[in-house]
Amino acid sequence: MIRVIIERHIADDLEEHYEQAARSTLAQAMQAHGFVSGESLRNAFDHNHRIVLANYRSVQDWQRWYSSSERQSMMATISPMLQREEKITVLEQ
């Protein structure tokens, strides 16, 4: 199993719109082949800083989701709300 950390910084005043889009993305990710679990967290000291933690069975499962048309479509909605590009870290044991 691998863990994927996605770090995002939301632009000011877009928190509500981001939350809606992020929930929809997580709902779609849950249907992806190899998805195990996931959660979305907010920095307690910077509400525009978000972390998504996702567990997948393998790097290949993550890469399949990452390059899927479903994720690309959701990122087309989310990306304009971000102050900078998301940062993705893939961890394995």
DSSP for 65-92, written as a single string: HHTSHHHHHHHHHHGGGBSS--EEEEEE
The CATH number of the domain where 13 resides is what?
Answer: 3.30.70.100
- Would you tell me how many other CB atoms lie within 10 Å of the CB of residue 23? 11
The number of folded domains in the chain is 1
Shortest CA distance to 41 belongs to which of 13, 21, 66, 22?
A: 22
**Residues contacting 73, CB < 8 A, separation 6+:** none
pLDDT tens-digit series, residues 28-81: 999 999 999 999 999 999 999 999 999 999 999 999 999 999 999 999 999 999
pLDDT number for residue 26: 87
pTM here?
A: 0.92
Domain residues for the domain of 16 are 2-92
